[in-house]
């Protein structure tokens, strides 16, 4: 049987190495992007290490997170033969385009960005200019590769829309240059809930479940998921419970139905549900966890993958930047 022809559209997505990736990153962006890697001729995955500079202040930790995200991508199934995996900071084109775009970015557009408004609302100590202009750098990441599709979680939707607005503005001002990107956000995984049961899963809420952490850490994070206070014997509503919601994202249809029945019948406590989730979780990620251990033994391979990725990405990025520079009059 002939395989389906690949889409000629371009896909781009990134993860910020400001900690170790968690289930929200995986389900919201990494898994969908890896699933799409076979469908697109050109897919770019990168480690957004210029973005993580807005929060990480320790160089040794930063290095560990950067390598960590790359290892995670590979362990989770990204195939460097099919896609381009690279580090944002390996390509100065990102920062350069970011500056050019910032010169057409209305101040008010940044001021209305959710992530910035959240930081201001939380009275973040000493908010930085980097945090304020974060969406412009993200627009540069996307537009440099003329991306059509950007698989992200809901929290990044506005940023992709800003990239689209800036592309449109640039095209109107200097002539047709950029493809207008679109976010790809499947509804069921748009916002993975955190273990606190109130916020989306996020490093900044400290409500995450790690993917590659030690087994005891993962079990502790899962056992700490907030539930209501219904007693063991009472029937429970699966649809409002975080343990059940997370289980649904990694279990089979039959397993989900079985758990639903247990919730509805009563006589089944949240403690047991959490143990079931923890076992499923470790089973779900067992292969990736093993693969990551193997990958860690040869960091030379990882460095090679990133160097090759940077070279491939550079071809696209430098071409776009040259066009942009011609359009704005920087190439004489
Ligand atoms: P980051 O590193 O915070 O998150 C990486 C991806 O994971 C998604 N995600 C979630 N999805 C669903 N539920 C959750 N609880 C959840 N938490 C995180 C995020 O939406 C994201 O898709 N600014 C970006 C990195 C970036 C980028 C880019 C992404 C930089 N440049 C260009 C796409 C294109 C960020 O901080 O993601």
Pocket test for ligand 1, best of 11, 20, 28, 141 (most atoms within 8 A of CB): 28
CA of 261 to the centre of ligand 1 (A): 34
Q: Is 284 exposed, middle or buried (0-12, 13-18, 19+ CB in 10 A)?
A: middle
* C-beta of 136 in contact with ligand 1 (< 6 A): no
pLDDT < 50 stretches in the chain: none
Q: Which two tokens stand for residue 137?
A: 């750098």
* 169 CB-contact burial (10 Å; exposed 0-12 / middle 13-18 / buried 19+): middle
Please state, in angstroms and rounded to a whole number, the distance separating the CA atoms of residues 11 and 215: 33
Q: What is the pLDDT of residues 45-78, one digit of tens each?
A: 999 999 999 999 999 999 999 999 999 999 999 9
47 ligand 1 Cβ < 6 A: no
Which residue's alpha carbon is at the smallest distance from atom 19 of ligand 1?
A: 153
Residue 291: both structure tokens together: 């693969």
Q: Which domains does the chain have, with CATH numbers?
A: 7-192+298-328 (3.40.50.620), 213-284 (1.10.240.10)
Spatial CA neighbour of 142 closest among 112, 101, 113: 101
Of 10, 12, 13, 14, the one to substitute when testing ligand 1's pocket (max ligand atoms within 8 A of C-beta) is 14
Note the pLDDT of residue 33: 87
pLDDT at 121: 87
The ligand 1 atom nearest the CA atom of 26: 7
In the numeric block, which tokens belong to residue 64? 């560990």
- Please choose from 147, 150, 153 the residue to mutate so as to test ligand 1's pocket, defined by most ligand atoms within 8 A of CB: 153
16 lines ligand 1 (CB under 6 A): yes
Distance 39 CA to ligand 1 centre (A): 21
Q: Is 221 a pocket residue for ligand 1 (Cβ < 6 Å)?
A: no
pTM, whole model, 2 decimals?
Answer: 0.94
Give the per-residue pLDDT at 122: 83
Structure tokens belonging to residue 12: 């781009």
Contact 247, 274 (CB under 8 A): no
* pLDDT at 2 (0 to 100): 58
Check if the beta carbon of residue 290 is closer than 8 Å to that of residue 212. no
Give the separation between CA 244 and CA 81, rounded to whole angstroms: 36
pLDDT at 3: 63
Pocket of ligand 1 contains residue 138 by CB under 6 Å: yes
Q: What is the pLDDT of residue 41?
A: 85
What is the pLDDT at residue 118?
Answer: 86
User: Is the minimum distance from the CB of 196 to ligand 1 under 6 angstroms?
Assistant: no
| Residue 193 in contact with ligand 1 by CB distance below 6 A | no
pLDDT digits (tens, 9 = 90+) for 159-193: 999 999 999 999 999 999 999 999 999 888 889 99
């Amino acid at each position: 049987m002939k395989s389906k022809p690949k889409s000629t559209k371009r896909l781009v997505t990134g993860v910020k190495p400001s900690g170790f990736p968690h289930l929200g990153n995986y389900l919201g962006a990494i898994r969908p992007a890896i699933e799409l890697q076979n469908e697109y001729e050109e897919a770019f995955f990168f480690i957004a290490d210029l973005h993580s500079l807005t929060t990480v202040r320790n160089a040794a930790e930063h290095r560990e997170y950067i390598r960590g995200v790359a290892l995670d991508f590979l362990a989770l199934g990204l195939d460097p033969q099919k896609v381009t995996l690279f580090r944002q900071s390996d390509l100065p084109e990102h920062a350069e385009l970011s500056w050019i775009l910032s010169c057409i970015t209305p101040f008010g557009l940044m001021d209305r960005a959710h992530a910035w408004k959240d930081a201001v609302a939380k009275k973040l100590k000493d908010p930085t200019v980097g945090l304020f202009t974060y969406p412009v750098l993200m627009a540069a990441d996307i537009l440099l590769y003329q991306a059509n599709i950007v698989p992200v979680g809901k929290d990044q939707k506005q940023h992709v829309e800003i990239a689209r607005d800036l592309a449109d503005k640039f095209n109107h001002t200097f002539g047709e240059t950029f493809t207008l990107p679109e976010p790809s956000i499947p509804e069921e995984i748009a916002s993975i809930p955190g273990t606190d049961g109130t916020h989306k899963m996020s490093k900044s809420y400290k409500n995450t479940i790690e993917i590659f952490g030690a087994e005891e850490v993962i079990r502790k994070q899962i056992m700490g998921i907030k539930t209501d206070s219904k007693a063991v014997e009472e029937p429970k509503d699966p649809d409002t419970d975080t343990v059940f919601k997370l289980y649904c994202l990694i279990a089979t249809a039959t397993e989900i139905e079985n758990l639903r029945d247990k919730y509805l019948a009563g006589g089944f406590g949240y403690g047991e549900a959490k143990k079931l989730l923890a076992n499923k979780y470790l089973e779900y990620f067992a292969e990736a966890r093993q693969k990551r251990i193997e990958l860690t033994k040869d960091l030379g391979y990882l460095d090679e993958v990133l160097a090759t990725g940077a070279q491939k990405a550079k071809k696209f990025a430098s071409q776009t930047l040259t066009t942009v520079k011609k359009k704005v009059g920087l190439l004489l």
